Amino acid sequence: MAAPPSAAGAGCAVLGRVRLGPRATLAPDAVLRGDGHDIVVGADFHLGARSTVHISHGQCGTIVGDRVAVGANAVVHACTVQDDVVVEDDAVILDAAVVGAGSIVERGAVVFARAVLAPGQRYAGVPAVAVGPVGGLELAAAQAAVRGRGPDSGAPATLRAVPATTGPGFVAATVHGRGVIELAEGGSVWFGCRVEGALGRLVVGPAANVQDNSVLRSDRAPVLVGAHTTVGHNVVLHDCTVGARVLIGMGSRLAPGTIVEDDVLLAAGSTTTEGQHLQAGSMWAGRPARRVAELDDRKRRMIASGAVVYGEYARVFGIAQQAF
């Protein structure tokens, strides 16, 4: 880390190969995780509450320019974000995308992998498309709106308790909430995750992983995550069941009663409806999710390799956390 942040909220984490420029501000539970590749961030960066910056293991790092402001609960993943960009709340930017300078990525937008967004535009939707040019005053107002919340905002004090854990897996030190996480061998729950399980069961299966800033919420039914499954960054699982060898894409939200069968890929930024059933062996996407393709061998291998990679990182982080 080339420069320490000038302000940091409760529960934020900077880990691995991360180089921060001067005057960075990190809100509560903000996570920058450079395991397996580099994150390089310019000057005057702001990362909002519960937002995540991550990389693609061994394939693509993340480069962020100067004066970039990222809102709350957003994901910036293995991509390039040029100078003076505003990424609003709940937006997701995916692998190898490039967001041009002076742009605004609107709330809830998803920038698809490998997309190249021209500078000076406002982008909205899934996938994110240009909806108009951005003027200097508009960009300044968007910057001020994101930065004006300050690094100490958005920290729910009632959820700062550390949840109880049973089993041999890894739970990051900044996981917070109430309830008991039942971990199978090799299961992991990552930085900034929030647990709302005082009324029900939360089960993370063998070699399954729940990535940074995701939410496990059990009110009326258990939350069950199957073996060798990856739950991406900033996902919400609410009273639902997720099978084995599944990838739940970043920023997705699963409604109560959702059942995801084995061998499913749910694309980033997707949502389900209450009681929706995602059948095995298929890829789903959209708001609400719909079946878009069969799950081919390449995607099956990607899901399997992701679980292996995160399992090894969980082992390493677990050892380091115990030593600390």
Q: In sequence order, what DSSP letters do the residues of 252-317 get, joined into one string?
A: -EEPTT-EE-SSEEE-TT-B--TT-EE-TTEEEEETTEEEEEE--HHHHHHHHHHHHHHHHHHHHH
111 or 158, which is more confident?
Answer: 111
**Domain boundary, last residue among 98, 122, 147:** 147
pLDDT score at 168: 84
pLDDT tens for 108-150 read 999 999 999 999 999 999 999 999 999 999 999 999 999 987 6
Note the pTM of the prediction, 2 decimals: 0.94
Instruction: Answer whether residue 152 is part of any domain.
Output: no
Residue 1 lies in a domain: no
Q: How many domains does the chain have?
A: 2
Residue 155 has pLDDT above 50, yes or no: no
Using one digit for the tens of pLDDT, what is the confidence trace for 3-57?
789 899 999 999 999 999 999 999 999 999 999 899 999 999 999 999 999 999 8
252-267 pLDDT, tens per residue? 999 999 999 999 999 9
Q: Is the pLDDT of residue 98 over 90?
A: yes
Q: Does one domain contain both 104 and 167?
A: no
Residues 193, 139: one domain?
Answer: no
Please name the residues in contact with 137: beta carbons below 8 A apart, sequence gap of 6 or more: none
Q: In the prediction, which pLDDT does 158 show? A: 45
Q: Report d(CA 314, CA 276) in Å as an integer.
A: 31
Whether residues 130 and 161 fall in one domain: no
Amino acid at 3: A
Q: 158 by DSSP, 3-state: which?
A: helix
Q: Look at residue 171 and tell me if it is in a domain.
A: yes
Predicted pLDDT at 163: 80
The answer on 164 and 310 residing in a single domain is: yes
**Are both 190 and 291 inside the same structural domain?**
yes
Q: Are residues 134 and 269 in the same domain?
A: no
The answer to whether position 241 is within a domain reads yes
Last residue of a domain, one of 126, 147, 168: 147
Task: Residue 107: give the domain boundaries.
Answer: 7-147
* 313 and 182 together in one domain: yes
Q: What is the pLDDT of residue 152?
A: 55
Q: Is residue 2 part of a domain?
A: no
Tokens of 181: 């996480």
Q: Which of 147, 169, 189 finishes a domain?
A: 147
Rounded to 5 degrees, what are φ and ψ at 268? -55, 140
284 and 247 fall within a common domain: yes
The answer on 284 and 219 residing in a single domain is: yes
In the predicted structure, residue 154 carries a pLDDT above the cut 70:
no
Q: Which amino acid would we find at residue 86?
A: V
Q: Are residues 110 and 200 in the same domain?
A: no
On whether residue 285 sits in a domain, the answer given is: yes
pLDDT at 180: 92
Average pLDDT, the chain: 94
CA distance 293 to 252: 18
CATH number at residue 69: 2.160.10.10
Cβ neighbors of 156 (< 8 A, separation 6 or more) are none
pLDDT score, position 324: 76
Burial 252-265 (b: 16+ CB within 10 A, else e): bbbbbbbbbbbbbb
Residues 253 and 276 occupy one common structural domain: yes
CA-to-CA dists, residue 286 to 95, 126, 253, angstroms:
18, 8, 11
- pLDDT tens per residue across span 201-223: 999 999 999 999 999 999 999 99
Q: Are 180 and 203 in contact (CB under 8 A)?
A: no
Give CA–CA dist 3/32, Å, rounded.
14
280 and 172 in one domain? yes
More confident call, 289 vs 163: 289
Q: How large is the greatest C-alpha to C-alpha distance in the chain, in angstroms?
A: 53
pLDDT at 310: 94
